[in-house]
């Protein structure tokens, strides 16, 4: 580990760890985040991306090599898909899917603590209830120190409950779309009539200049553009803009499904687990639909009993895709995240599923899974160097790489 610290220090001084320069990382063990564990692996990083990754790969002479100790392990950087990043701004209740969370973002000291906990990407959601806007993907520790926004629009936050007003809010999505379609059709019809009238008048006109003037007055058709709110609704219906629907209990999910009916909507579920959560009552429905669920790494009990339940594991076995988030949206919650996930693993959750739930699946939730969330050739070089296996209680984060640049690493080991 002392050798790693020395190499990291030399890397910063010589510039070998900066994006745009080649760097080979050789490690005995690499967890890719997509279910694979590589032994005696080499990761070649260039210009902020992973050029190649595999076992026992040769390294060309002249390429700087970071040789890790045998006990050190490489994993993808963690992705916290549902956070306020320590922000204290207040939101409002309403239906504002067009608002972007990053527009109200400001850096805080908490960001550094998030990054040091291994979180390289975070879904920063807007404050408020109802439908307060779109979450943004943020860099807690950006490689250049300034570019915090990785992706401005990820998912629409939607907090719902078992009430008529919330059912009306969901239905308003499609009512607004239909209203816009009606306006667009009237706009087109009005143009078509004007064009038909102009064509007839131009046909009768013998003077070429006057004929051209008649047709120019009508011009070419320009489709009616939706306003920002209408566009957000349209994108939600098309699946371009997915929703993260927060529900408090099983009944709220059934209420939401009833309000949605047969309407199209791409969505995941935020299911905050309390001690006596009843979400198990809908796990088969959620799993059958292959929905993504965002959960806390918490062991709960059957309501009214002391029988323990590992709800994240039960939903995975039912067919759901799991995203785990820290139990509290704080620096301590980020620091304890892996330790809390260990409790789920001890209770039956597969270790590889758990790691994916902290890396690749949350990246998929943010619409960034093709470029982030796992260690694969062509993806962004976001990775962590740990002092041991990812879910060993004593394992610590020794270095954090973002966009191919080390942004955090302990010196003096």
Question: Which tens digit of pLDDT belongs to each residue from 179-214?
Answer: 999 999 999 999 999 999 999 999 998 888 998 999
**Token output for 73:** 């392990």
Between CA 149 and CA 220 the distance in angstroms is 39
pLDDT surpasses 70 at 20: no
Query: Beta 133-134 vs 397-402: how paired, if at all?
Result: unpaired
Q: Which helix (H) or strand (E) holds 406?
A: strand 405-409
Q: Which of 15-19, 226-230, 364-368 has the lowest mean pLDDT?
A: 15-19
Least confident of 48-52, 209-213, 409-413: 409-413
Residue 9 has pLDDT above 80, yes or no: no
pLDDT of 312 higher than 90: yes
Q: CA-to-CA distance for 251 and 254, rounded, in angstroms?
A: 5
Model pLDDT, residue 18: 45
Structural domain spans, the chain: 1-76+374-413, 78-164+228-372, 173-218
Give CA–CA dist 245/96, Å, rounded.
15
Q: What H or E segment, with its residue span, contains residue 234?
A: helix 228-238
Is-same-fold flag (1-76+374-413; 78-164+228-372)?
no
Q: How far apart are CA 374 and CA 80, in angstroms?
A: 14
Q: Which helix (H) or strand (E) covers residue 267, if one does?
A: strand 267-270
User: Is residue 88 helix, strand or coil?
Assistant: coil
CATH 2.40.50.100 fits 1-76+374-413, yes or no: no
Instruction: Give the residue-averaged pLDDT of 120-128.
Output: 94
Give the contacts of 284 (CB within 8 A, at least 6 positions apart): 318
State which H helix or E strand residue 345 sits in.
helix 337-346
Does residue 410 surpass a pLDDT of 80? Answer: no
Contact 385, 406 (CB under 8 A): no
Q: What is the number of other CB atoms lying within 10 angstroms of the CB of residue 213?
A: 12
pLDDT at residue 89 in the model: 66
Element (H, E) at 206: none
- Reply yes or no on whether the pLDDT at 143 is more than 50: yes
Question: Distance from CA of residue 105 to its chain's centroid?
Answer: 17
Average pLDDT over residues 94-109: 90
Residue 160 has pLDDT above 70, yes or no: yes
Residue range 256-301, pLDDT digits in tens? 999 999 999 999 999 999 888 899 999 999 999 999 999 999 999 8
149-151 and 136-138 strand pairing: antiparallel
Query: What SS3 class is residue 279?
Result: helix
Give yes or no for a contact between 382 and 363, defined as CB atoms under 8 angstroms apart: no
pLDDT of the residue at 88: 62
Token representation of residue 132: 């307060």
Alpha-carbon separation of residue 266 from 6, 75, 250, 323 (angstroms): 48, 30, 19, 16
The CATH number assigned to the domain with range 78-164+228-372 reads: 3.20.20.140
What's the chain's average pLDDT? 91
How does pLDDT run across 325-353, given as a tens digit for each residue? 999 999 999 999 999 999 999 999 999 99
Evaluate if residue 304 carries a pLDDT over 90: no
The candidate with the shortest Cα–Cα distance to 331, out of 154, 143, 83, is: 83
Quick one: which of 398, 374, 394, 375 has its CA closest to 386? 398
Give pLDDT tens digits for 388-400: 999 999 999 999 9
Which pLDDT score is estimated for 104? 85
Distance between CA 366 and CA 79 in Å, rounded?
9
Percent of the chain residues topping a pLDDT of 90:
81
Dist. CA 345–CA 334, nearest whole Å: 18
Task: Tell me how far apart the alpha carbons of residues 53 and 369 are, in angstroms, rounded to a whole number.
Answer: 18
Per the CB < 8 A criterion, the answer to whether 32 and 38 are in contact is yes
Per the CB < 8 A criterion, the answer to whether 359 and 351 are in contact is no
Enumerate the β-bridge partners of residue 149.
138
């Amino acid at each position: 580990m002392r050798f790693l610290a020395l190499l990291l220090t030399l890397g910063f001084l010589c510039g070998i760890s900066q994006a745009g320069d080649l760097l080979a990382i050789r490690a005995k063990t690499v967890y890719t985040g997509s279910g694979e564990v590589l032994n005696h692996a080499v990761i070649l990083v260039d210009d902020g991306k992973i050029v190649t990754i595999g076992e026992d790969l040769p390294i060309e002479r002249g390429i700087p090599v970071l040789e890790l100790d045998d006990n050190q392990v490489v994993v993808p950087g963690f992705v916290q898909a549902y956070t306020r990043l320590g922000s204290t701004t207040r939101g409002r209740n309403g239906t504002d899917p067009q608002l972007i969370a990053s527009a109200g973002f400001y850096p805080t000291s908490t960001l550094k603590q998030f990054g040091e906990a291994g979180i390289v990407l975070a879904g920063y959601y807007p404050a408020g209830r109802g439908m307060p806007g779109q979450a943004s993907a943020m860099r807690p520790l950006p490689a250049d120190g300034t570019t915090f926004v990785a992706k401005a629009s990820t998912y629409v936050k939607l907090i719902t409950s078992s009430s008529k007003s919330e059912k009306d809010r969901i239905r308003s999505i499609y009512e607004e779309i239909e209203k816009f379609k009606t306006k667009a059709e009237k706009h087109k019809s009005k143009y078509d009539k004007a064009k038909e009238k102009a064509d007839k008048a131009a046909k009768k006109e013998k003077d070429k200049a006057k004929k051209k003037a008649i047709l120019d007055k009508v011009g070419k058709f320009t489709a009616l553009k939706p306003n920002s709110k209408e566009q957000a609704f349209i994108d939600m219906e098309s699946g371009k803009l997915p929703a993260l629907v927060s529900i408090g209990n099983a009944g709220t999910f059934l209420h939401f499904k009833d309000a949605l009916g047969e309407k199209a909507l791409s969505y995941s579920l935020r299911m905050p687990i309390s001690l006596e959560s009843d979400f198990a009552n809908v796990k088969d429905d959620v799993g059958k639909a292959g929905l993504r669920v965002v959960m806390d790494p918490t062991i709960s009990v059957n309501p009214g009993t002391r029988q323990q339940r590992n709800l994240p594991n039960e939903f995975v076995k039912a067919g759901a895709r799991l995203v785990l988030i820290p139990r509290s949206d704080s620096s301590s919650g980020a620091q304890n995240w892996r330790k809390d996930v260990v409790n789920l693993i001890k209770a039956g959750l597969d270790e590889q599923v758990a790691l994916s739930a902290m890396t690749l699946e949350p990246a998929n939730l943010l619409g960034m899974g093709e470029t982030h969330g796992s260690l694969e050739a062509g993806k962004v070089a976001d990775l962590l160097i740990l002092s041991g296996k990812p879910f060993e209680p004593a394992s610590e984060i020794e270095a954090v790489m973002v966009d191919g640049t080390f942004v955090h690493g302990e010196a003096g080991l």
